[in-house]
Amino acid sequence: MFIINILPLFAEPLHSPGWGFRIDLPPDYRYSGGDGKNSFSFTSETGLAFDLAVYQGHYTSVEQMASDVGRALGNRGENSSFDYHGKKAVIMQLDFRDNADKNSRKTGWGLSIEMAKPEMERAASGSLPLLLALSYGPEGNDSLELLKLSVLDSLSPSAAENRYPGPVSDFSYPRGKKVMKAVAGTYLDAQFGENDAEAAQSLVDREFAVLKRYAASGQWQEAWIRFYRAIYRDSWERLIDASFQLERLWNAGSPETGPAVDDDIDVQNREFAGLALEWVQSFIYERDLMGSDFVNLVTAIQEGRGDCDSRAMLWSIIMAQGCIPAGIMVSRDYSHAMGLADLKGSGARFPGGKNYMVAETTTHVSIGMIAREQSDIEHWLAVMFE
């Protein structure tokens, strides 16, 4: 059953406990129909639509489902098969006649993909369930094309993809072979996908274009949070080896001081967070006032550069991959961002972010310190990822 809080706007990703998939829709998408179990439809204020349907036993493959759906729609677009995180998938270019107006057409993108179910259920049914997702709207409005792609890319067909690049990103920029790259400011090398930096920047640019659509609306906070959630999800797997290498370095101590010996996990976490903070504070400060003003996190960790939100997000992911719950706090009024983490000890905390400790990533100050002129909590927005 798809348990959904049917509100006019969605501020959180929507999750199906029964089927296991998740979607993270822009804030103006509304639930508009479906049986609430196997089919779901959403529409936006811009006239776009997003449809989801789960099929089990109807089709023998994702290719057959995509082909049959295409014929039913009278679709003129092409289908392309690919492998998505071990699941067979088909990306569908949509171009079909509008049933309500035969003189106009709908365009967009679709996805036919395998889902994951427990082996017992798979054995009983004899087949994997398949998920169909369609993101489309009236043709001729190029400014909406990135929004259509963003919606489809927000889909996680199972919990395994909640921390993995979305299906559109993975299709457009396959991770490719593994390559070793230097980690900025250290003697470490870490493993990345050969296309990770380009893919990560493409997602940042696309999601920033989507974010700008909501900048002047009453939904800007929800849109801003969704922007960072998309980057967090896309970046997690790309950074996992580099984060591991850094965690091992900082928890082991330097060659001069030897390994850490303190058995107090709270003290160790605080020391680890402080070393990670000193590292991102050493980055080259960089802004792009003509673009997204966000250096993708793969480039940031390899080249040691970025603005406040790039650094805060990178720090929070390193914390989370080190089993320290973390997030970020952002302020439109202060044009600033900082990290948040669940750490013990004294220091400034943000009540709106689970009372986590703050981390200033662009000035060389200790963890838990915040400038007095930026300390008004009313001007900050917490972005929590877990």
DSSP letter for each residue of 173-213:
S---SEEEEEPTTSS-EEEEETTHHHHHHHHHHHHHHHHHT
Going by C-alpha positions, the residue among 28, 138, 129 that lies closest to residue 94 is 138
Q: Tell me what the mean pLDDT of segment 59-84 comes to.
A: 96
Q: Tell me what the mean pLDDT of segment 130-148 comes to.
A: 92
Residue 253 has pLDDT above 60, yes or no: no
Is pTM beyond 0.85 here?
yes
C-alpha–C-alpha distance, residues 358 and 376, integer Å: 13
| Range scoring the smallest mean pLDDT among 89-103, 189-203, 340-354 | 89-103
Going by C-alpha positions, the residue among 1, 112, 117 that lies closest to residue 65 is 112
Q: Which residue has the higher pLDDT, 62 or 102?
A: 62
Residue 290 has pLDDT above 60, yes or no: no
Going by C-alpha positions, the residue among 263, 385, 267 that lies closest to residue 316 is 385
Rg from Cα positions in the chain: 22
The tokens describing 335, both together, are 């044009």
Task: Specify the residue for token string 């992911």.
Answer: 317
Q: Average pLDDT, whole number, for the chain?
A: 89
pLDDT band at 65 (very low <50, low <70, confident <90, very high): very high
Query: What would the pLDDT profile of 144-163 be if each residue is shown by its tens digit?
Result: 999 999 999 999 999 999 99
| Ordered domains of the chain (ranges, CATH) | 14-172 (3.40.1000.10), 189-384 (3.10.620)
Please tell me whether residue 289 adopts helix, strand or coil conformation.
Answer: coil
Residue 258 has pLDDT above 50, yes or no: no
Q: Which residues are paired to 339 by β-bridges?
A: 328, 359
Query: What would the pLDDT profile of 160-208 be if each residue is shown by its tens digit?
Result: 999 999 999 999 999 999 999 999 999 999 999 999 999 999 999 999 9
